Amino acid sequence: MTEIWFTEKQTDHYGITMKLKETYVREQTDFQDLAMVETEEWGTMLLLDGMVMTTDKDEFVYHEMVAHPALFTHPNPEHVLVVGGGDGGVIREILKHPKVKRAVLVDIDGKVIEYSKRYLPQIASGLDDPRVEVIVNDGFMHIHDHKNTYDVIMVDSTEPVGPAVQLFTRGFYQGIYDALKEDGMFVAQTDNPWFKADLIRNVNRDVKAVFPIVRTYWANVPTYPSGLWTFTLGSKKYDPLEVDESAIPEIDTKYYSPRLHKAAFVLPKFVEDLVK
């Protein structure tokens, strides 16, 4: 019997490979190559331009760690924006916070939203919630057009290729600053320190040029390059390291916990050196 394997070439000399059971969708959208596949090890998997975006098995790590550190740092996160994130996983986590009155998702590719609802319903489960507004548009332009609007902005982008390139620029971070209220904060995924050290260093430099409080934290996401994934948080007022962990309520999570909140900001030495 023929076996079919998929390999994501993460560098010129390294990749991860997994056995496929079925390909549900393979489509060139207006913005990227999209595939939805069923794997033996990780369940259903969303691929964009040949890169793993999310899987049934480990998605909770990434989505929880984008959402909860910021939402448990800001004391009143009523209005939240997600840029990208068309699979809906970050929105699902945001909705676990009763203080959130409105969550807006802006993804440039409506096909990601459409196919995630169909093939990843447990991830996309919050997209039809009455608190959620889903907009198919350019997140960069949405931020430009919404000054002083959001308490928290979360950038759930692909790696800096294709339409996501502009989401890793100082101009974008300034736009986020302007779109936040006077005590707002944002968080973005910032790739891995093994293969993208320069990216982390540059993002940290650029965010520090805009925000007075900048913190980097990390999580283990096994299907992402190297498994060690970083996030960068920029805040106008509130510091995640000053949060009273004992006041963080236990919510329905599998990775994030009140005890992990500050621990995630303790960086391995070589990552710490990147962001000094």
Q: Say what the pLDDT of residue 168 is.
A: 60
| Structural domain that includes position 37 | 4-55
Q: Provide the H-helix boundaries in 120-222.
A: 139-144, 170-179, 197-208
Predicted confidence band of residue 126 (pLDDT cuts 50, 70, 90): very high
Q: Say what the pLDDT of residue 161 is.
A: 52
- Bridge partners of 218, per DSSP, are 230
Residues 72 and 142 in one domain: yes
Q: Domain tally for the chain? A: 2
Rounded Cα distance between 191 and 216, Å, is 11
The three-state secondary structure class of 136 is strand
**Pseudo-torsion of CA 77, 79, 83, 87, nearest 10°?**
80
Q: Say what the pLDDT of residue 169 is.
A: 77
Q: How many angstroms separate the most distant Cα atoms in the chain?
A: 61
Is 139 assigned a ligand-binding role in the annotation? Answer: yes
Is 169 assigned a ligand-binding role in the annotation? Answer: no
Q: Please give the structure tokens belonging to residue 146.
A: 């919404």
> Is it the case that residue 166 has pLDDT exceeding 70?
no
Is 107 assigned a ligand-binding role in the annotation? Answer: yes
> Is it the case that residue 246 has pLDDT exceeding 60?
yes
Residues 89 and 9 in one domain: no
Is 68 assigned a ligand-binding role in the annotation? Answer: no
Residues 137 and 270 in one domain: yes
User: Which amino acid, residue 11?
Assistant: T
Nearest to 135 by CA among 158, 112, 115: 112
Q: What is the pLDDT of residues 91-109, one digit of tens each?
A: 999 999 999 999 999 999 9
Residues 91 and 217 in one domain: yes
Is 190 assigned a ligand-binding role in the annotation? Answer: no
Decide: 18 and 40 in contact? Cβ < 8 Å: yes
Nearest to 261 by CA among 253, 269, 270: 253
Q: What is the pTM of this model?
A: 0.95
Rounded Cα distance between 235 and 213, Å, is 5
> Is it the case that residue 233 has pLDDT exceeding 90?
yes
Decide if 156 is catalytic.
yes
Catalytic-labelled residue, pool 58, 151, 156, 206:
156
Residues 113 and 221 in one domain: yes
Predicted confidence band of residue 145 (pLDDT cuts 50, 70, 90): very high
b/e per residue, 241-254, with b = 16+ CB within 10 A?
eebeeeebeebebe
Q: Say what the pLDDT of residue 170 is.
A: 80
Mean pLDDT of 234-254: 97
Residue with tokens 């548009």: 137
Averaged pLDDT of the chain: 95
Q: What is the pLDDT of residues 39-95, one digit of tens each?
A: 999 999 999 999 999 999 999 999 999 999 999 999 999 999 999 999 999 999 999
Residues 29 and 73 in one domain: no
> Is it the case that residue 221 has pLDDT exceeding 60?
yes
Give percent of the chain above pLDDT 70: 96
Residues 43 and 89 in one domain: no
Q: What is the CATH number of the domain that holds 17?
A: 2.30.140.10
Boundary (domain end) residue, out of 13, 32, 55: 55
Residues 40 and 24 in one domain: yes
Is 273 assigned a ligand-binding role in the annotation? Answer: no
> Is it the case that residue 163 has pLDDT exceeding 70?
no
Q: Please give the structure tokens belonging to residue 203.
A: 């993002």
Residues 247 and 162 in one domain: yes
Count the Cβ atoms, other than its own, within 10 Å of residue 187. 27
User: Which amino acid, residue 243?
Assistant: V
Is 159 assigned a ligand-binding role in the annotation? Answer: yes
Decide: 40 and 20 in contact? Cβ < 8 Å: yes
